[in-house]
């Protein structure tokens, strides 16, 4: 199982998507990140440029941090991991 910044499960994913009002692209990128896909792999899977994927990932982090502060009972604190850094550079 890939290491992620959040111990994702279906409940956390659904809560985050609902509370942060994620777009379909954001939801798809998040699902791929949870599965451990790199930026390049997500780009190939979704037919979205790597630059746009990187922007979406950055936006997701900002949204998650903002939403988590207001809903700590729904979403755990996000922590950066080595796996995330690798995903961001490949």
Long-range contacts of 24-29 (CB under 8 A, 24+ apart): 25/56, 26/56, 26/59, 26/60, 29/53, 29/56, 29/57, 29/60
The confidence score (pLDDT) of residue 76 equals 87
Burial (Cβ within 10 Å: 0-12, 13-18, ≥19) of residue 7: exposed
Confidence category of residue 12, pLDDT binned at 50, 70, 90: very high
- Distance, CA of 39 to CA of 26 (rounded, Å): 13
pLDDT digits (tens, 9 = 90+) for 39-60: 999 999 999 999 999 999 999 9
CB count, 10 Å around CB of 56?
Answer: 22
**Interval 66-87 mean pLDDT:** 82
Indicate the pTM of the whole model: 0.80
Residue that the structure tokens 């630059």 belong to:
51
Mean pLDDT, all residues of the chain: 88
| Lowest model confidence (mean pLDDT) among 33-42, 52-61, 66-75, 78-87 | 78-87
């Amino acid at each position: 199982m890939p290491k992620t910044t959040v111990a994702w499960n279906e409940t956390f994913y659904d809560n985050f998507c609902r509370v942060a009002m994620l777009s379909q692209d954001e939801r798809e990128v998040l699902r791929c990140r949870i599965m451990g896909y790199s930026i390049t792999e997500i780009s190939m899977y979704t037919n979205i440029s790597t630059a746009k994927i990187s922007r979406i990932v950055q936006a997701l982090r900002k949204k998650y941090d903002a939403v988590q502060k207001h809903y700590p009972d729904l979403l755990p604190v996000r922590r950066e991991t080595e796996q995330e850094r690798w995903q961001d550079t490949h």
